[in-house]
């Protein structure tokens, strides 16, 4: 199993694309763009895809590290894969923290 520092990352472009695709259903209701890929699965599917991408990056970083230990990988590729995995983990943790914070704010609202 991968260590805590080796997780998959999501690029800024991928995060922006997911944000736009999750915002599209709201725009469609308001008369904006048509339905997108995320409208069929909603937020849960987008979150699941992001986590899958994070896990994929972590596995790729692990594989590159193993190749480096065997002496068959370029050190630049290893460092790049590990950096991507670390960034993905940090992004995932930041999203988790924001979701928890939003939940706590909703729970504090008076009824």
pLDDT tens for residues 25-43?
544 444 444 444 445 678 7
Per-residue pLDDT for 23 more than 70? Answer: no
Q: Going by C-beta distance under 8 Å and a sequence separation of 6 or more, which residues neighbour residue 53?
A: 8, 10, 14, 88
- pTM, two decimal places: 0.57
Q: Going by C-beta distance under 8 Å and a sequence separation of 6 or more, which residues neighbour residue 80?
A: none
Q: Give the model's confidence band at 111: pLDDT under 50 very low, under 70 low, under 90 confident, else very high.
A: confident
pLDDT digits (tens, 9 = 90+) for 72-87: 888 999 999 999 999 9
């Amino acid at each position: 199993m991968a260590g805590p520092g080796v997780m998959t990352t999501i690029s800024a472009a991928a995060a922006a694309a997911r944000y736009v695709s999750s915002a599209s259903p709201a725009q469609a209701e308001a008369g904006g763009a048509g339905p997108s890929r995320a409208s069929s699965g909603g937020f849960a599917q987008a979150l699941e895809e992001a986590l899958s991408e994070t896990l994929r990056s972590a596995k790729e970083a692990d594989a590159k590290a193993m190749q480096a230990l065997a002496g068959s990988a370029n050190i630049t590729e290893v460092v790049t894969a590990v950096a991507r995995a670390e960034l993905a983990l940090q992004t995932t943790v930041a999203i988790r923290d924001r979701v928890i914070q939003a939940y706590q704010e909703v729970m504090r609202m008076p009824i």
